[in-house]
Structures are given as C-alpha cells and as structure tokens.
Structure 1
C-alpha cells in the first residue's frame, strides 16, 4: 500500500508533470519559510487563536446541554497510539511512532468540520445576542438554547456551501439553536449526506457542476441579506480560527502522553485537504505553538490536488485542478475540490512542509486496514493520511525520523451509514 513516489523539489512554480498525469507524488514545498518570519508577517496571531479558545469555553455549558456526547461541552477527540503492526505498515519500515488524532469520531458530528462549522455558528449567535442586548455579566451560555435567544435566532438564516460534512456541522448547530439553515451542494454530493441534512430540518439546494459552483451561487444569494449569515468555506476567518484552536487540544494531549516536540523531536502531522480550511487552521495553530518543530503534510487525491496546484502555480490568482488537466473526480468526496482557498494558501502556504497526493485505491485499502486492524470506521477521505505517510517518510533523511512523532489526523467516518461503509470496504 506504499508506493515509491516521484519527488519534485525545484523552486520552479510550474505544476509538476506527475500532477498533471494524476500520478501520486510527494511535493516538497520549495516555498516553506522560517516559522517565526512567516508568523510575524501574518494577519493572525496567537491572541486570535486564544480568543477562539476562550469563545469555545464560553459555550461549553451550551454544548453540554445540547449534546450528550461531549465531555463537559468540549468538542474534541482522543489521541490514539496506532497498534505497532499497523504503525510499521504505515511507516513502510521507517523509524518513528504513529498516533491518530481521531476526529473521525469527534462528538456531535463525527468529523473535523465541527471544529470550524460549529464554531462559526456559535460566533454568529454570540454576535446576534450581543447586538440584541441579551448578554449580561455572569450569564451562562446554556441560555442560548431557550427563550429570547431562540426567538431571536429563529428570525435568521445560516447558509453554507458544502460537499457534506461542513454542511452537517453547520446544520446540526444551527438547527439546535433554532436558526433556519440552507446547505448548497453539488448534485453529485453523497445522497445520504443530503438526506441527513433534510432530516435535521435544513433546506438542501442542489446545483449542477462541482462544489465550487455551489459555493459561488450560495455566496451570491446571501451577499446582501441582513437577516442571514453565509459560512464561506473559501474565505472565512471564523472557520480558520475555529480549526486553529484544535492545536491547543493536540498540544495538551501530546504533553499528557509525554511526547516532546522540539528541534530534536519533530512532529509530522498528516492533514487531508479539500478547500484547505481545516488543515490550514490546524497548521497555523500548531506552528504558533511549536514553530519549525512541526512539519505539516497536506494530503490530497491525485484527481483533486487543489492546494498543491495553487502553491506550485503561485498565489497571484486562484488556479483550479481543471487548468492542470485533471477531472476532480475522487471517491474522497470531502476532498473533491477544484480550487483551494486563497486565504488559506496565502496564510499558511509557507508553513506547509509538503503535499502528498494519493490514488483512490490506496484510500480504500487503508480504510479496510484501519477497520480490521484498529476498529477505526473511516470515510475514504479520512484514510488518506495513512496512505501518504510511507511515501513521504521514504524520502526523508534518517536523522529527521529517528526521534520523530507522526500524527495522522482523521476527518470523518463515525456517522457513515452501514451500507456506505460496507460498500467502501468492498472496494478495498
């Protein structure tokens, strides 16, 4: 399940030929810079991440009241050691330990998108409540679930463009507070994801074409509505900061496990990438905490490497995978994105260590291996990180790996219907 992949390390900003041929590749980012310098030039800071963390904690009482699966209102997942036999297979014989940040089993939504989608809904609700004079000193935010708060929220709509998981995260939180919710999706998004949104009471709007068209149409429809909020997956600061706060959770868990992260003990984090919001936010947060000791590796399907294409081509304009001759067709529906977020590419592009592209067949193979070997129920997109590790470490210097920790960040799967999961297993 681990291929020998071509490596392109040139500073040339041309899209690599292997990418255009839809072949797996490890693209070592020639634009990576010193973490301190990149962060110093950023529009965002550690104070922004800490502010997001503080907002999460204000809403702990509300989340604990609404969702029984949370631990004291925290939306977080465990950090799990991968069984030794699987770790050896993942690493392809290279040294190091492998851990799993298990957002495939995240409370409330069973996917990483809760960290951004739920957070943005809460941010909007807090802003509305403040403007309406409903906030007062000492107020428990559990009050957001009842009375005048719900009456206020019922007069407003939250909309989002999504391939499924972000829409579900926005929908679950929005409907729990009484908002009207619209989710704009491409016609080829998974039918079961559309159905679960309708069961929540959300309105699903379908479009011909891909995810990007659905987002653009929704953005236009809600541009001037004072009674509505559009969650813009391509350009949302709130989504970005909600994801960034997840770095604090991982920092706490690494410390509890006795895992050092410093120049002598690098941390490689493998992050499935669609439009880029979730991996971009996590990358930014981890870099704020660990500097150059963290090595973020983005993982994309060979048919949809939108972040690789964008970074390779430059940041002057948005560049799609279609321009590279690719079709954006992949079983990893959460990663089937033609154009990366320019906000994310410009904010964290110089912090990404590498981008690894993987074929769909590897996603299914690792999905089955993780299920049979560790009992992890993953969507194909969530298995992509495991498919990337072996090829990536195969080209690393041994000294870089001897004391390294590898964290594969899973992104969805716990809520996958049985029939869908069994069909995915059958593909392996």
Structure 2
C-alpha cells in the first residue's frame, strides 16, 4: 500500500490510534476535539439563517403545486414533513439489555416522508424545485407572487422537457430527485452505484426515469453523472457531495422540528439538552439537518453522525482533517454494507469543513447491530425502517455505554442534566421498501437480536 495523503497507513495509525480499530471494522465512538461554541463556529461558515429562511419560503411557494400533483401531501397543504414520535417501548427494551438511557427517546420519522419515503425528500426535492423555479422565472413564465399550482400544466411540462437533470446515487437521493423531476416534466437520469437496491431502480423506471447502473461504488456513479451533465448544454447536475442547495433543503427541517417540540411540550435549553443521532453517508443530509438544528438550538443541541463500520468515511475525513482527500478504501476498508444509503467511501469535503466545529462526534455501527435494532423496533413499536435508518437508533446506547460518550457529557457539563435530556434518532428511510424485502430484513434481524 502506497502513501495516503502523504503518509503511510502506519504513520496515520500512530497519529490517530482509532484508525486501527476502524480498519478492523470495529464499532467506535469518536468525539470531536474541534467541537466549539455555536458563536465561534459560525464565524467560519458563510451560510446563514437567512439562507435557510429563503429555502423555507421557496418550499412554501411550491406547496400548492405539490398538494395538487402528490395527493398524499394534501392533508399537510403540500408541505412535505414527517412526524416525531416517542419510542418508550424500544427504550425499555434497549435498557433491559444495556445501561439505562437517561431522558426521553424519540424518533424523527423521515422514513415516512411523502413522495419518496426518506430524508432525501427534503434536499433532493428542494433542489429540483429551486432549479425549476429559476428556469421558469428566467423564461418569464413565473413570478414569486404567482400561485405555483399553475406549474401543473402541459405548458410547463413541455417547457421543462427541454431540460435534463442528472444525479449519482446509492438509492434514496435518486428516488427523490427522479420522482420529482419526472413529475415536473424534466428528462431525468439517475446513475446508480452497485449497492443500490433493485426495487429502487425498478420504482424509478416505472416513473419514467432513465436509470444507469454502475458495477462500482457511489463515487463512480457521481463522477459518471457529472460527465453526462457537462455534455448537455441544458443539463443540470445535482451534486450530492458539494451542493449548498441540497444542504439548505435539509436545514429547513430544524425550524419545523422546533414547532413539533413546542406542541409536544419538549424543552431544549441549558437544563434540557438535546442529542440528535444522524445516519451519515456522504454527509449532505445529516450535515444540512445538523446545521439547521444548530441555528435553532445553538449550544443546547449535540449532533452525532452515525456510519456503518465498513464505510466510516466522514469519521475518517474529520479525524484526519483530510476530508474528501481521503477514502476508506485506501485504508483497506471495503465500503461494503447493507446500509445502502450510507455505503460511501469518500465524504463531502464541503460538509466536513462546514461542520468541523459544530459536530459533536461520530460513531460506527455494524450491519448485525442495524438488523438487530430493525427487528427490535418492529417488535416494540411496530415501526419499519430500512437498515441504514437504524444507525441513528444506536446513538443513545453508544452515548451511555461508551467511555468516550460518557466523557463527552462530562466535558460539556451536561452529565448531571441527562435525566432532562431528549434523544432524537433521525430515521432516514424505510416506508417505501417492498413488503417482501422488509420481511427479509426483519427475519435477518431476529437472528442478530440483542442478547441472543
């Protein structure tokens, strides 16, 4: 093995001993030494609350169109939002096997978002809508004051059919962008990596989306997508690795969560810390959500990313401070996991650098643990998630059982306040998984059930 970003593997391990465990695909819990106060961190970030507010307003403008073309969003007036629910039976079950989880345990059900059934319905759909709005305004077909339901017409579909949208995906981002783009009338191509599930490809094709399959991983699918878009003067590439638009679409989730907390009478302040656990692939979704949460709750929210043991790309990037200049494969980690949305070998440099002082830490979870949690959640709460979405559910267990997690609560002066804490696992996908596939997941989970 040659040098990686100027050092040998041995030198990297010497500087960062945790890498040795990561190479052995052991579960690890890392707390970020660069984590700082919200005020300090924001000095280095060029995005602001104003940008997130603009994104929120844009989604509001499109709500009349969304309500018309996706009847399942009518009840919410065309706003694509998910419920936040308590999971007390799951909490009890986990506590019977591990340490007590102090505080309340909640699940943010982005697994059940309308249209594409995953967190990607936030960023992916938002970026498509922004592009559609930009094109229509430039062509003098639309103004900000119009009722956007007028977009649901032959005239607009014909207009959008002159343009193409391209994306590279492991699955869920492709679903959200493919479904939304096709509905508007765009020519849309989704480049899928080898780990993308067959049912996701089939569903996209049934919606009129052009799916290109690649025998290699996510980075290659993105690269091919980028090449295709560059060749088309009317092509638009949605760049999961570097898109601030995607990022802002995700960030809108935070102010909506705050409203849900108000209704549920959940406090977040100095005495009531909030811990959020976000499954992480390339980083755009969890990064955008974490950024939004920090804008709303500032130093009272602690965000942790969760990655598969076989794809710890964000952890590797943050730990070494090399971000996208380094990949898990260079360290001999295979990037093979059933958590398909998280099967990413190289992280987003944009997200890593933006959040390097705002993210509390990263932990990794084995596929066995994901499956075990999957079936346990079904048995206790009757909630069905896809394997990758369970990465967040592992968070509180790891925080209370891992020495680094306990040290973090002490260092942040919240150890004595944990009985007032709220733990929120972000469930990123699952409601669109076909029944027979979900049943196979569940059966597999029973084999790995905790304590068996």
Which interval holds the TM-score relative to the shorter structure? over 0.9
The answer to whether structure 1 residue 412 and structure 2 residue 429 are counterparts is yes
Match of 1:60 among 29, 52, 63: 63
Aligned-residue offset at 1:89: 3.6
Work out the CA distance in 1 between the residues paired with 2:14 and 2:299: 20
Please point out which of 242, 253, 259 is paired with 1:252. 259
**Could you say what secondary structure the match of 2:29 adopts?**
strand
Match of 1:87 in 2: 91
Match of 2:21 among 11, 15, 18: 18
Unmatched runs of 5 consecutive residues or more in structure 1: 1-9
Shift in Å, 1:371 = 1.0
Residue 7 of structure 1 corresponds to: none
**1:354 equivalent in structure 2:** 361
Distance 1:365 1:192 in 2: 23
Equivalences for residues 336-351 of structure 1 within 5 A: 336-351=343-358
2:190 aligns to what? 183
Partner Cα separation in structure 2 for residue 138 and residue 300 of structure 1: 43
Matched residues in 1 for 2:386 and 2:101: separation? 26
1:4 alignment counterpart: none
CA contact (8 A) 2:89 2:381 kept: no
Deviation at 1:15, TM superposition (A): 5.1
**Match 2:246 to one of 239, 256, 274:** 239
Distance 1:13 1:50, change over 3 A: farther
Deviation at 1:40, TM superposition (A): 2.4
Out of 22-31 and 318-327, give the one that drifted further: 318-327
Distance in 1 (alpha carbons) for counterparts of 2:322 and 2:351: 10
2:430 matched to 1:427? no
Deviation at 1:54, TM superposition (A): 0.5
Q: How far does the alpha carbon of each residue in 1:233-264 deviate from its partner, in whole angstroms, 9 at most, with x for none? A: 10111100000011111111111111111122
| Structure 2, gaps ≥5 residues long | 1-12, 446-452
1:27 to 25, 30, 34: 30
Alpha-carbon distance between aligned partners in 1 of 2:341 and 2:391, rounded to the nearest angstrom: 11
Determine if the alignment matches structure 1 residue 73 to structure 2 residue 58.
no
1:224 deviates by 4.8
CA contact (8 A) 1:14 1:312 kept: no
TM-score by length of structure 2 reads 0.90
In structure 2, which of residues 141, 147, 171 is the aligned counterpart of residue 164 of structure 1?
A: 171
CA distance in 1, matches of 2:15, 2:79: 44
**Higher helix residue share:** 2
Aligned counterpart in structure 2 of residue 329 of structure 1, from 325, 328, 336: 336
Work out the CA distance in 1 between the residues paired with 2:59 and 2:258.
16
User: Separation in 2 of the partners of 1:260 and 1:113?
Assistant: 27
